[in-house]
């Protein structure tokens, strides 16, 4: 049996829209969420590739997972069959773990496809006597299965431009992260479908340039300890993403009333304290908070009374 784990990641500069091979239409920047990860195991079997859980992602997602394994097998010239086991976990403050849901906007697709890619290449390396590909090569292969999974190979910051994904050094290299969960049910519109639909939005005009400008501004802010500027840029960026959803044809959205309540409380907190977390969202209703390591007391002040 072979086992591998990979973390989730959250993009601060989002990629919106993609081409063949999941090549993004614009640059993106992500932070690795080490507390959220997927563990994948592969076991040899005699008849066919199959998925056995314990996560139950549904027929379409399961087929994507198995097809990605077949894609890697084809690259490596492997004719063996495998049983795939996969679970999503979050690390708790006491050191224990608990599961976290799939298809709910918590980047489980990124961590699961990255873990499957890592695990498959471990198995291929042993079975075929081939050297392990570099992280860059594994990332490129993983991207074909799930675009955002290519960012889960590099920590803590990852820059993704076209076919190239790489670790990027940023002055603020350690953040405290929180996820405020609004809804754990699977999304009605998958992230893959969302990338297709946003192409119909008139707001896609200029999207590539907006992302480039925000990336440059965000790197300047993070490297210059301009935290409030970083907060403002990331706020603009996730609203840009949601505006694309809402102006697609047909339109769709992930925001829920509780999402809006949380965002309103966080904005109020910033105004009252002159400081607070960077806020962002994935394609879902849940809210990600990123804090500097010196903000622990401020973090407790926000999370305990409000959320």
pLDDT digits (tens, 9 = 90+) for 92-118: 777 777 776 655 556 678 999 999 999
Q: Mean pLDDT over residues 117-130, rounded?
A: 96
> Given CA atoms 119, 120, 126, 127 in this order, what sign does their dihedral have?
positive
Of 23-27, 65-69, 87-91, 177-181, the range with the lowest mean pLDDT is: 87-91
pLDDT at 300 over 80: yes
What the block records as the tokens of 97 is 């773990």
β-pairing, 81-91 vs 50-54, is: parallel
Residues 45-66 have a mean pLDDT of 86
Residues 6 or more apart in contact with residue 254 via CB below 8 angstroms? 105, 187, 189, 242, 245, 281, 283, 284, 285
Listing DSSP states for 234-251 in one string gives HHHHHHHHHHHHHTSSS-
Q: Residue 11: its pLDDT value, please?
A: 97
Torsion of CA 259, 6, 219, 240, to 10 degrees: -30
Domains and CATH numbers, the chain: 2-167 (3.30.230.10), 175-306 (3.30.70.890)
**pLDDT recorded at residue 184:** 79
Asked if residue 304 has pLDDT above 70, the reply is no
pTM equals 0.92
Rounded mean pLDDT, 243-247:
98
> Pick the residue with more confidence: 105 or 72?
72
Asked whether residue 305 carries a pLDDT value surpassing 60, the answer given is no
Q: Would you give the DSSP letter of residue 132?
A: P
What does the alpha-carbon distance between residue 184 and residue 201 come to, in Å, rounded to a whole number? 27
Determine the pLDDT at residue 226. 97
Average confidence (pLDDT) over 134-148: 96
Tokens standing for residue 127: 């079975």
In terms of pLDDT, which residue wins out, 28 or 93?
A: 28
Q: Per-residue pLDDT for 258 more than 70? A: yes
Q: Where are any strands of DSSP class E within 144-256? A: 157-161, 164-167, 175-180
Mean pLDDT calculated for residue range 241-245 = 97
Overall average pLDDT of the 23-36 stretch? 95
pLDDT over 70 (residue 8): yes
CA distance 145 to 57: 15
Which residues lie below 8 Å from residue 51, measured CB to CB, with a gap of 6+?
62, 65, 66, 83, 84, 85, 86
- CB burial of residue 26 (10 Å; 0-12, 13-18, 19+): buried
pLDDT of residue 141: 97
pLDDT above 70: percentage of residues in the chain: 95
Could you tell me which residue, 62 or 233, shows the higher pLDDT? 233
H or E stretch including 105?
A: none
pLDDT on residue 53: 77
Mean pLDDT of the chain: 92
């Amino acid at each position: 049996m072979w086992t591998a784990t990979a973390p989730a990641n959250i993009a601060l500069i989002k990629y919106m829209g993609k081409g063949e091979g999941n090549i993004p239409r614009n640059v993106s920047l992500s932070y690795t969420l080490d507390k959220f990860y997927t563990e994948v195991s592969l076991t040899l079997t005699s008849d066919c590739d199959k998925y056995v859980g314990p996560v139950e992602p549904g027929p379409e997602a399961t087929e994507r997972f198995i097809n990605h394994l077949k894609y890697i097998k084809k690259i490596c010239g492997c004719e063996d069959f495998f049983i795939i086991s996969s679970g999503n976990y979050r690390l708790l403050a006491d050191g224990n773990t608990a599961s976290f849901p799939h298809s709910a906007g918590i980047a489980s697709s990124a961590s699961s496809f990255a873990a499957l890619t890592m695990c498959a290449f471990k198995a291929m390396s042993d079975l075929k006597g081939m050297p392990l590909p570099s992280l860059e090569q594994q990332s490129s292969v993983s991207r074909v299965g799930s675009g955002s999974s290519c960012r889960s190979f590099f920590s803590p910051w990852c820059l993704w431009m076209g076919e190239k994904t790489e670790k990027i050094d940023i002055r603020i290299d350690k953040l405290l992260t929180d996820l405020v969960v609004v809804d754990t049910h699977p999304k009605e519109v998958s992230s893959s479908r969302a990338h297709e639909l946003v192409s119909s939005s008139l707001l896609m005009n200029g999207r590539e340039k907006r992302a480039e400008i925000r990336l440059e501004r965000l790197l300047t802010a993070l490297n210059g300890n301009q935290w409030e500027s970083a907060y403002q840029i990331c706020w603009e960026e996730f609203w840009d993403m949601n505006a694309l959803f809402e102006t697609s044809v047909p339109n769709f959205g992930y925001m829920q009333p509780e999402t809006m309540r949380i965002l309103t409380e966080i904005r109020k907190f910033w105004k009252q304290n002159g400081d607070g977390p960077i806020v962002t969202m994935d394609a879902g209703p849940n809210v990600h908070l990123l804090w500097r390591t010196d903000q622990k007391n401020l973090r407790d002040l926000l999370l305990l009374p409000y959320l």
